[in-house]
Amino acid sequence: MTTMMITAMTLLMMPLLVVSAYNTSSSPSSSPSSVANRVKSVNYFISRECNYKCKFCFHTQKNTNKLGFGNAKLGLQLLQHSGTEKINFAGGEPFLNPELLGELCQFAHSECGMAVSIISNGSLIKSEWMDRYGQYVDILGVSVDSFDPATNALIGRGTGDTTKNQHVSRVLKVRELCAQHGILFKMNTVVCSLNHLEDMNQYVTALDPYRWKAFQCLILQGENAGGVNDLNDARELQVTREEFDAFIQRHSEQSALIPEPNTVMQNSYLLLDEELRFLDCSENGKIPSQSILEVGVERALSQAGFDDAMFQKRGGIFEWTRDRGGNNNSILK
């Protein structure tokens, strides 16, 4: 048994901190959020590995590290005991590790009582995986930056050959799989210089997502800022706030649309890397905390740079559990 695992198990055996429910009559400035309220929704990058080469990616494949199921499971238990209600598995591309991803989804749902979501590029999602593990997933999000094969090729989603780029057809397949398994379908779009003039209304209406996040292309030092240690240089893909707002206005009739410019997005997500370290993006980079397996959630959280007020303001808490007793996921129109 590793030292890290022993430490995590010791933390789990400590008496649990009893936290009161958030008192809405208290102002955020005079009463800081409890740990339980700050960790309600956590994003866990299980690995940086990816099969795409998106030029604006800000969580690049700097290593191929990932925890085994045992340590990852302990991490989920620590989050559960601290108050996490929803876990989002991301990457990299999480489906490059389908067995680990599936087991984590099952454990998070069945043993930790968490809502489970996944963010994927959609290229590796198989019907067999969905048959086995789909029952444990509430929301499945797919990155959809364009419905034009040439634009997807330029961005790096799929093959660079514009005549063979299959990203859109893969998205359609995933949408159908979500409908078959009653999983809420979500879309994520990074608005950049290559797609900000595109009109996606017809396709978005047909896909009928539960939520559609539109993010302004974000630059983070050490990842995609073109520095010596950066794997990407996305500076030419940036759009102005005016260009981003114009994209949002063009799609304003889409009821599922949730716009997130840089000022909203950068610090309002609680991110855990492949070593279960919170990532502090507040200084325009990614500074990892100590691992929650070594120091626990509360201490690591103090190093996260997380803006929980912005998390609340952007609607970070929503109905994130699907209805398993009925059909709440409309079929592709």
Q: Which of 169, 208, 206, 211 has its CA nearest to residue 189?
A: 211
Who's near 9: CB < 8 A, 6+ residues apart?
74
Distance CA 39, CA 53 (A): 31
Rounded to 5 degrees, what are φ and ψ at 236?
-75, -10
Distance CA 86, CA 222 (A): 28
Distance CA 66, CA 72 (A): 9
Q: Give the number of residues written for the chain.
A: 333
Identify the bridge partners of residue 225 per DSSP, sorted by sequence position: 233
Distance CA 28, CA 135 (A): 37
In this structure, what DSSP letter does residue 62 have?
S
In the structure encoding, which two tokens stand for residue 308, read together? 């929980």
- Which is the catalytic residue, given 57, 105, 192, 217? 57
Q: Which of 301, 300, 268, 266 has its CA nearest to residue 286?
A: 266
In the structure encoding, which two tokens stand for residue 97, read together? 């590790």
Instruction: Clarify whether 57 is annotated catalytic.
Output: yes
- Which is the catalytic residue, given 50, 105, 217, 281? 50
- Which is the catalytic residue, given 54, 105, 112, 192? 54
> In terms of DSSP H, where are the helices of 20-68?
35-38
In the structure encoding, which two tokens stand for residue 202, read together? 């017809």
Distance CA 234, CA 220 (A): 9
Catalytic residues: 50, 54, 57
